[in-house]
Amino acid sequence: MKLTTRWCAVLVLGAVTLAGCAYLTPQSDLTVDTGDSTSELSDTEPSGGAPQSSVIEEATRTNNAQSTADDAAVSSTTAPATSSTTIPEPLGVNELVLKSDGLGGARFGAEPNEVVNYVSSILGSPTEDSDWVSPDARSCPGTAVRSVKWGVLSLMFGDESSSATGRAHFMSYTYGVIDKFGEEPTGLTTSDGITITDSVGSLLERIDVQLNEGDESLDIPPSFFYDRAPFPVTGLLSGTTADDVVLVISSGSGCLG
């Protein structure tokens, strides 16, 4: 006699992007042979053998043991899928470090929508998106540019910069706006631990930085500059005295305006 048990395991694999799952539903037939293919299931005791109920119980125990072993084998050989992109899963606002080669896990040269989705997963939906427009108004090279903002954090995308050419990509970031001092998102820092609201005195103590007093008559604000690879980190200041503060931090390349 043969008893057949069907089982179905559903495995959820973590997707590479921020949404989506993959489902696997393997099936297998487990057949238990009682040694007597001609016996009928009944409460009677077969001639010269064990009671029919004992045969059924033994078959059930064997069947359950095999199912448990199969489930354990599936669990031990199946692991969540790992990301194949250059951008890791987000951890929180602290992950968005202002680097000389990008923002957090998003590197200059990365695909625009991938970067936007990554930052949105941490800061929420953008507060402003210019979509793709002519680069002329921003003094940018290439054929089109796009600016995406989350409050005072702005990311610039284009198809021509020192990071890549002939394709749309992440070019630069700017953190801070002079007339929106202290607005969201707050707490973003550079790899050197510098953030907007830091004093110029603190800036001078912590890194080898160059200051520029600007030119008020030409509407050029005071600024700072320090060299890092692959791009320098620059920014704007309220002034150049020790008590003045950092207003804007930026890095990357592509646009002059």
**Per-residue pLDDT at 80 exceeds 70:** no
Q: Comparing 28-32, 160-164, 176-180, 203-207, which segment has the lowest mean pLDDT? A: 28-32
pLDDT computed for residue 58 by the predictor: 53
Q: Is residue 257 part of a domain?
A: no
Sorted by sequence, the CB contacts under 8 Å of residue 240 that are 6+ apart come out as 200, 211, 212, 213, 222
Shared domain for 231 and 150, answered yes or no, is: yes
**pLDDT-derived band at 131, boundaries 50, 70, 90:** very high
Ranked by mean pLDDT, the top range of 45-54, 74-83, 114-123 is 114-123
Q: What is the DSSP letter of 221?
A: -
Q: Rounded to an integer, what distance in angstroms lies between the CA atom of residue 55 and that of residue 1?
A: 10
Sorted by sequence, the CB contacts under 8 Å of residue 130 that are 6+ apart come out as 145, 146, 147, 148
Boundary (domain end) residue, out of 28, 44, 77: 77
R_g (Cα) of the chain, nearest Å: 32
- Pick left, alpha or beta for residue 84 (phi over 0 → left; psi -120 to 50 → alpha; otherwise beta): alpha
Shared domain for 103 and 195, answered yes or no, is: yes
Shared domain for 119 and 246, answered yes or no, is: yes
Q: Comparing 35-44, 93-102, 145-154, which segment has the lowest mean pLDDT? A: 35-44
Shared domain for 224 and 142, answered yes or no, is: yes
Q: Is residue 83 part of a domain?
A: no
Task: List pLDDT tens digits, range 97-122.
Answer: 999 999 999 999 999 999 999 999 99
More confident residue, 134 or 38: 134
Cis amide bond preceding 230, omega within 30: yes
More confident residue, 97 or 84: 97
Boundary (domain end) residue, out of 34, 50, 77: 77
**pLDDT-derived band at 48, boundaries 50, 70, 90:** very low
More confident residue, 46 or 254: 254
How many domains is the chain built from?
2
Residue with tokens 């606002």: 93
Shared domain for 99 and 211, answered yes or no, is: yes
**Per-residue pLDDT at 148 exceeds 80:** yes
Shared domain for 38 and 103, answered yes or no, is: no
Shared domain for 99 and 223, answered yes or no, is: yes
Task: List pLDDT tens digits, range 194-225.
Answer: 999 999 999 999 999 999 999 999 999 999 99
Q: What is the DSSP letter of 30?
A: E
Shared domain for 182 and 99, answered yes or no, is: yes
Average pLDDT over residues 146-165: 96
Percent of the chain with pLDDT over 70: 64
**Burial (CB count <10 Å: 0-12, 13-18, 19+), residue 98:** buried
Average pLDDT over residues 67-95: 53
Can you give the CATH number for the domain in which 180 is found?
2.60.460
Domain of 120 in residue numbering reads as 93-252
Shared domain for 97 and 12, answered yes or no, is: no
Shared domain for 104 and 199, answered yes or no, is: yes
Average pLDDT over residues 145-150: 97
Q: What is the DSSP letter of 117?
A: H
Boundary (domain end) residue, out of 50, 77, 104: 77
Shared domain for 35 and 107, answered yes or no, is: no
**Per-residue pLDDT at 139 exceeds 90:** no
Q: Is residue 82 part of a domain?
A: no
Shared domain for 140 and 188, answered yes or no, is: yes
Q: Is residue 19 part of a domain?
A: yes
Residue type, 220: I
